[in-house]
Amino acid sequence: MGCGRVGSAIARRLEEVGHSVAVIDQDPAAFRRLGPDFTGRQVTGRGFDRQTLLDAGIDSAGAFAAVSSGDNSNIISARVARETFGVQHVVARIYDEKRAEVYERMGIPTVATVPWTVERLLRELLAVKVSELWREPTGTVLLMRVTVTESWVGRRLTEFEAATGARAAWLVRFGESQLPTAGTVLQDGDQLALAATDEISARVHDVVESGPQGGEH
């Protein structure tokens, strides 16, 4: 929802990598930003209107991004997509930091208006489990962002570290960052910032996808 600079960029990128995309905007002229090669659905209407969402295919959507210029519209649309239609991956762009914090706690990832908005939104929508956050100047050590998968929920973080060889720098839970302890148990929705090297980055990917048993081999 929202065919401004961010929304149109996300729509084009998703289509480029093979996804079918529908875009909602109140202003039909906004669809010009999609360009002549865009083949997805273009639906004129309010993104929180039930019929508009149905016209866009919300009932079969795998992900929904609310990226209009209004916080209220984005919040309502994101909640309708998540709570009414059960869309698994929902993300909203929120300008107000206090509101953003509330929605992070509700399990709806929010993104501020910063240069990496499109990349962050794409990661959330495509449910990328492992991505690179930062690399130190020599290129030896990197920080990896890891979304805890179902098979690791209820397991100790120390077990995950042993399986990957990486070290958790911090943990994000319900929108709040915290330093992990020896007794930290992983929960659904947790995101880890892992310190790793290129040598073990492939192992991190494997362990995240295969779960505890795969990490023991």
Q: What is the pLDDT of residues 87-143, one digit of tens each?
A: 988 888 888 777 777 777 777 777 765 444 565 666 566 555 777 778 776 778 889
Distance CA 127, CA 178 (A): 22
| pLDDT, position 116 | 45
Is 16 in a helix, a strand, or coil? helix
pTM, whole model, 2 decimals? 0.58
The pLDDT tens digits of the residues spanning 58-96 come to 999 999 999 998 888 999 999 999 899 999 888 888 887
The pLDDT tens digits of the residues spanning 172-189 come to 888 788 999 989 999 988
42-60 b/e with 16+ CB inside 10 Å = b?
Answer: bbbbbbbbeebbeebebee
